[in-house]
Amino acid sequence: MNREMIIVLDFGGQYNQLIARRVRECGVYAEVHPYTLSPERIRQMHPKGIIFTGGPDSVYLPDSPSCGSELFEMGIPILGICYGSQLMAYRLGGVVTTAPVSEYGHTSVTVDDPADVLWKGIASPTVVWMSHTDYIAAVPPGFHVTAHTDRCPTAAMSCPEKKFYAVQFHPEVMHTVQGKAMIRSFVYDVCGCSGDWKMDSFVESSIRTLRDKIGNGKVLCALSGGVDSSVAAVLLSKAVGRQLTCVFVDHGLLRKDEGDQVEAVFGPKGPYELNFIRVNAAGRFYEKLKGASEPEQKRRIIGEEFIRVFEEEAHKIGAVDYLVQGTIYPDVIESGLGKSAVIKSHHNVGGLPDIVDFKEIIEPLRMLFKDEVRAAGLELGLPSSLVMRQPFPGPGLGVRIVGEVTAEKVRIVQEADAIFREEIAAAGLERGLGQYFAALSNMRSVGVMGDFRTYDYAVVLRCVNTSDFMTADAAQLPWEVLSKVTSRIVNEVKGVNRVLYDCTGKPPATIELE
Which of 33, 132, 152, 170 is catalytic? The answer is 170
Is-catalytic flag, 172?
Answer: yes
C-alpha–C-alpha distance, residues 165 and 205, integer Å: 33
Q: Is beta strand 452-465 parallel, antiparallel or unpaired with respect to 473-474?
A: antiparallel
In whole angstroms, the minimum distance from the beta carbon of 137 to ligand XMP comes to: 43
From CA 397, how far away is CA 286, in angstroms rounded?
Answer: 12
Query: Which amino acid, residue 478?
Result: P
Q: How far is the CB of 400 from ligand XMP (least distance, A)?
A: 9
Residues making contact with ligand XMP (CB under 6 A): 344, 346-347, 391, 393-395, 435, 469, 506, 510-512
CB nearer to ligand XMP: pick between 487 and 510: 510
Based on the residue annotation, tell me whether 159 is a catalytic residue of this protein. no
Work out how close the CB of 459 gets to ligand XMP at its nearest, in angstroms, rounded to a whole number: 18
What is the SS3 string spanning 287-343? HHHCCCCCHHHHHHHHHHHHHHHHHHHHHHHCCCCEEECCCCHHHHHHHHCCCCCCC
346/359 with CB nearer ligand XMP: 346
164 vs 436, beta carbon nearer ligand XMP: 436
- Phi and psi at residue 391, in whole multiples of 5°? -60, 145
Q: Shortest distance, CB of residue 395 to ligand XMP, whole angstroms?
A: 5
Helices (H) and strands (E) in the chain — how many of each? 15, 18
* Size of the chain, expressed as the number of residues it contains: 514
CB of 365 to ligand XMP, least distance (A): 15
Nearest CB to ligand XMP, comparing residues 12 and 326: 326
DSSP string, 429-482: -GGG-SEEEEEEEEEEEEEEETTEEEEEEEEEEEEEE-SSSSSBEE----HHHH
Catalytic position from the list 82, 159, 191, 246? 82
Nearer to ligand XMP, 13 or 377 (CB): 377
Tell me which residue of 381, 437, 52, 3 sits closest to 194, measured CA to CA: 3
176 in Cβ contact with 127 (< 8 Å): yes
Between residues 184 and 347, which has the closer beta carbon with respect to ligand XMP? 347
The H or E element that residue 499 is part of is strand 496-501
With helix as H, strand as E and coil as C, how does 101-150 read? EEEEEEEEEEECCCCCHHHCCCCCCEEEEEEEEEEEEECCCCCEEEEECC
Q: Which is nearer to ligand XMP, 106 or 346 (CB)?
A: 346
| Min separation Cβ 335 and ligand XMP, Å | 15
Q: Which is nearer to ligand XMP, 259 or 395 (CB)?
A: 395
Of 418, 55, 369, 467, the closest CA to residue 261 belongs to 418
Smallest gap from Cβ 360 to ligand XMP, in A, equals 24
At its nearest, how many Å lie between ligand XMP and the CB of residue 464? 9
Distance CA 216, CA 237 (A): 13
- The long-range contacts involving 260-268, CB below 8 angstroms and separated by at least 24 positions, are 261/225, 261/385, 261/386, 262/223, 262/225, 262/230, 265/230, 265/382, 265/383, 265/386, 266/223, 266/230, 266/233
Active site residues: 82, 170, 172
